[in-house]
Amino acid sequence: MSDDSAPWSASVFEEKLRAKGSGYHVHHPFHVMMAEGRLNARQLQGWVANRFYYQISIPRKDAAILANCPDREVRREWVQRILDHDGYGDDEGGIEAWIGLGEAVGLSRDDVVSLRHVVPAARFAVDAYVNFARQASWQEAVASSLTELFAGHIHQQRLDTWPQHYPWVDAEGLRYFKGRLTQARRDVQHGLHLTLAYFSQSRALQERALEILQFKLDVLWSLADAIMLSQCEMKIVGARA
Ligand SMILES: O=C(O)c1cc(C(=O)O)c2c(n1)C(=O)C(=O)c1cc(C(=O)O)[nH]c1-2
């Protein structure tokens, strides 16, 4: 008889984490439409402007992980994520590259950095992620970053499809996606290594890691819902003037 409470082997646990990719936002109708070239300029601009709030929140989320982590070796590697987004020295960083993406789709720098196009539900979804990282243990917050397992594919998909579907977008603006291909691969190696080591101590912890990954998938899904809904021009049947 199999023991239902024994921890899964590292490879089975990793497989279960990777299987969560079936709920990644690449399958959200908004991202499917984006990849199929079915968004108009205003809709693509809306996505870039709203997603900027995620971009500026990631380093704050990573700073929360550092603040909660007493392990110097982990901090030495994790701090790189903040530098990737904020930039350092001559490296402009990912946030600046995202502003470049905003300009490439026809927004002004101020349209992006003022956050005036960020809808309330997008803000709530992203804030849930940052608050989780503040309040959870650092190992749990690390596990919540593992949606990045699936991010390489979506960045590559944009690099492959945008030039054809959205030729009006200045190709230079796509440099954010290019940069993330290598950064996400490195991030995932580190995050996955830490997660497999810590959560494999018991089956209950492994199941907790899967729940955390689901929470983060839900954050990204809700963010896409929020953006899509903000772009719907819905007529309320029977509404009074
Ligand atoms: O464009 C995307 O679909 C996407 C998704 C994700 C993700 O899966 O959380 C990240 C990114 N991009 C990204 O660019 C990024 O820097 C990033 C950091 C993190 C994280 O949780 O620490 N996720 C993501």
Residue 239: enclosing H or E segment and its boundaries? Answer: none
What is the band of 4 on the pLDDT scale with cuts at 50, 70, 90?
confident
> With a 6 A CB cut-off, is 58 part of the ligand 1 pocket?
yes
Q: How far apart are CA 210 and CA 143, in angstroms?
A: 9
What is the band of 234 on the pLDDT scale with cuts at 50, 70, 90?
low
User: Which of the residue ranges 114-123, 177-186, 201-210, 231-240 would you say has the lowest mean pLDDT?
Assistant: 231-240
Q: Across residues 92-117, what is the average pLDDT?
A: 98
> With a 6 A CB cut-off, is 154 part of the ligand 1 pocket?
yes
Please name the residue ranges forming H helices in the chain: 10-19, 29-35, 41-68, 72-86, 93-104, 109-113, 120-135, 138-144, 151-165, 175-199, 203-230
CA contacts within 13 A on the Cβ side of 234: 9
Q: Which of 58, 161, 189, 190 to mutate to test the pocket of ligand 1 (most atoms within 8 A of CB)?
A: 58
Give me the CATH topology for the region 22-231. Answer: Heme Oxygenase; Chain A (1.20.910)
Residue 234 CA to ligand 1 centre (angstroms): 30
Query: For residue 177, which atom of ligand 1 is closest to its CA?
Result: 14
Q: Which of 81, 148, 153, 195 to mutate to test the pocket of ligand 1 (most atoms within 8 A of CB)?
A: 148
Q: How far apart are CA 108 and CA 113, in angstroms?
A: 9
Residue 91 CA to ligand 1 centre (angstroms): 19
pLDDT tens sequence across 50-66: 999 999 999 999 999 99
Q: Across residues 136-159, what is the average pLDDT?
A: 97
What is the phi-psi region of residue 87: left when phi exceeds 0, alpha when psi lies from -120 to 50, beta otherwise?
left
> With a 6 A CB cut-off, is 151 part of the ligand 1 pocket?
yes
Buried b / exposed e across 174-207, counting CB within 10 Å, b at 16+?
bbbbebbeebbeebbebbbebbbebbbeebebbe
Q: Across residues 100-123, what is the average pLDDT?
A: 98
Q: How far apart are CA 236 and CA 241, in angstroms?
A: 10
Percentage, residues of the chain above pLDDT 90 = 94
Q: Across residues 206-215, what is the average pLDDT?
A: 98
Residue 151 CA to ligand 1 centre (angstroms): 6
pLDDT tens sequence across 25-52: 999 999 999 999 999 999 999 999 999 9
- Domain coordinates in residue numbering, the chain: 22-231
Q: Is 115 helix (H, G, I), strand (E, B) or coil?
A: coil
